Amino acid sequence: MKFMNVFRTVVVAGLMTTAGFALAPALRADVVQQILVKINGEIFTKTDLEQRQIAALRQMGQEDRANTSDAQLRRMLDEATPQLIVSIVDEVLVVQRGHELGYRMADEQFQSILDNIKKENKIESDAQFQAALKQENMTLAELRKSLERQMIMTRVQQNEVFGKIAVSEDEARQYYDAHQSEFTSPQTITLREIFINIPNGTAATVADDTAAREKAAGIRARAVAGESFEKLAADLSDSPSRANAGLVGPLSLSDLSDDLRKLVEPMKAGDITEVLHGARGYQILKVEAKSVAETRPFAQAREDISNRVFTTKRQGEFQKYLEKLRADAIIEWKSPELKKAFDQGVLQAQTAPGAATR
């Protein structure tokens, strides 16, 4: 991960710039900031929201203010803000829960992360690192705060939710029975081909076509008589596959054209087709090998099944956890518009495709 991406991923509040998006008049340092919501006593201000909105616009690729109208920006913000507010509230609640559990980022852990960032981005001095921080308009303390919040959220999710999810034998068996195709390897076929090109292309004469057909028929007769198909392909084929003695595949039978599949499906290894006429020439195929479709037994697939069921359950269980945190929290909305946006975002999450049923 490049240096810029590291900061744009882990730092949200640090992305505010003076140039770019004129969402609201700048606040003077001596003016009390407008509080929009209190979450268990922790305040979230208008400036905080503007910073998050700018970060969201950047993630949507709207960093070029000159090429985006005010109406377009406002429409994009109206669409993004409901989910943004929900994520803000959820983040605060999860971090607060992490603090209750005593999660903190140790100095040694923070230093290790910094060392990794410097190593990955080939930053060799503290001066270079400070310059990079300045370019991203943040301080080392702000970076640490953001990294610590990320760490706390990950630990809460793992210890409070994901670590408690179990996949029962019945759940695993039900998934296996309903998704057997996921554990079935397709039937495959490996072929060798000899292709004889009709000379002169679209200008080919009847004589050209006849000569190519007769040449192909003669080669087939030699192969059927016992000559090495591989050597004939390497010596006489006009196809690029001659470099591999005509080897093609393995191919999934389901990927073949209907006509070719019908032709080769009943054939056995070693069988040779008749001479086949195509748009550019004549082809002879030999079945080199075939495999049958095989379904992994449940016992062998059990670990994969658990991973897939866990992934499905994880989103739903974490959503339930967030809903409980919200229900137990004291959330004081100071802005009716923001409360409306929050309610809209919650509804969107509940009705989105793939949302967990309750």
| Selected residue with higher pLDDT from 64 and 148 | 148
Q: Answer yes or no: do 194 and 45 share one domain.
A: no
| Cα 297 to Cα 294: distance, rounded to the nearest angstrom | 9
pLDDT reading at 23 higher than 50 = no
At residue 68, the pLDDT reads 66
Domain membership of residue 172 (yes or no) is: no
At residue 159, the pLDDT reads 92
pLDDT reading at 269 higher than 50 = yes
Q: Answer yes or no: do 133 and 32 share one domain.
A: yes
At residue 355, the pLDDT reads 58
Of the pLDDT bands very low, low, confident and very high (cuts 50, 70, 90), residue 109 is: very high
Least Cα distance to 272 among 329, 339, 220 occurs for 220
pLDDT tens figures, 28-57: 443 457 899 999 999 999 888 888 888 787
Q: Answer yes or no: do 88 and 34 share one domain.
A: yes
Q: Answer yes or no: do 241 and 203 share one domain.
A: yes
Domain membership of residue 280 (yes or no) is: yes
User: What is the span of the domain harbouring residue 18?
Assistant: 3-166+312-351
Domain membership of residue 138 (yes or no) is: yes
pTM score, whole prediction = 0.59
Q: Which of 242, 264, 292 is a domain's end point? A: 292
Q: Answer yes or no: do 73 and 155 share one domain.
A: yes
Residue count of the chain, please give it: 358
| Selected residue with higher pLDDT from 281 and 17 | 281
Sheet architecture: strand order including 247-252: 247-252, 188-197, 281-290, 276-277
Q: Answer yes or no: do 25 and 104 share one domain.
A: yes
Of the pLDDT bands very low, low, confident and very high (cuts 50, 70, 90), residue 331 is: very high
At residue 294, the pLDDT reads 85
As a whole number, the mean pLDDT across the chain is: 82
- Give the burial string for 6-21 (b: 16+ CB within 10 Å, else e): bbbebbbbbbbeeebb
Q: Which of 248, 263, 292 is a domain's end point? A: 292
pLDDT reading at 66 higher than 70 = no
Domain membership of residue 83 (yes or no) is: yes
At residue 26, the pLDDT reads 39
Of the pLDDT bands very low, low, confident and very high (cuts 50, 70, 90), residue 358 is: very low
Q: Answer yes or no: do 66 and 115 share one domain.
A: yes
Q: Answer yes or no: do 71 and 137 share one domain.
A: yes
Strand intervals (E) in 208-273:
247-252
Domain membership of residue 298 (yes or no) is: no
Q: Answer yes or no: do 120 and 8 share one domain.
A: yes
Domain membership of residue 330 (yes or no) is: yes
Domain membership of residue 66 (yes or no) is: yes
| Selected residue with higher pLDDT from 234 and 205 | 234
pLDDT reading at 76 higher than 90 = no
pLDDT reading at 98 higher than 90 = yes
Mean pLDDT over residues 294-299, rounded? Answer: 88
**Contact partners, residue 182, CB within 8 Å, separation at least 6:** 308
| Cα 135 to Cα 146: distance, rounded to the nearest angstrom | 17
Domain membership of residue 275 (yes or no) is: yes
Q: Answer yes or no: do 282 and 319 share one domain.
A: no
Q: What is the CATH number of the domain that holds 31?
A: 1.10.4030.10
Beta-strand pair 188-197/35-39: unpaired
Q: Answer yes or no: do 320 and 249 share one domain.
A: no
Give the number of domains in the chain.
2
At residue 153, the pLDDT reads 94
Instruction: Note whether 190 and 251 are within 8 A (CB).
Output: yes
Of the pLDDT bands very low, low, confident and very high (cuts 50, 70, 90), residue 352 is: low
The total of other beta-carbon atoms located within 10 Å of residue 294's CB is: 11
Q: What is the CATH number of the domain that holds 223?
A: 3.10.50.40
Of the pLDDT bands very low, low, confident and very high (cuts 50, 70, 90), residue 249 is: confident
**Contact partners, residue 204, CB within 8 Å, separation at least 6:** 198
pLDDT tens figures, 133-176: 888 888 899 899 989 999 999 999 999 999 888 888 998 999 99
| Selected residue with higher pLDDT from 346 and 72 | 346
Q: Answer yes or no: do 98 and 9 share one domain.
A: yes
Of the pLDDT bands very low, low, confident and very high (cuts 50, 70, 90), residue 27 is: very low
pLDDT tens figures, 212-240: 889 999 999 999 998 899 999 998 998 89
Least Cα distance to 124 among 4, 3, 10, 5 occurs for 3
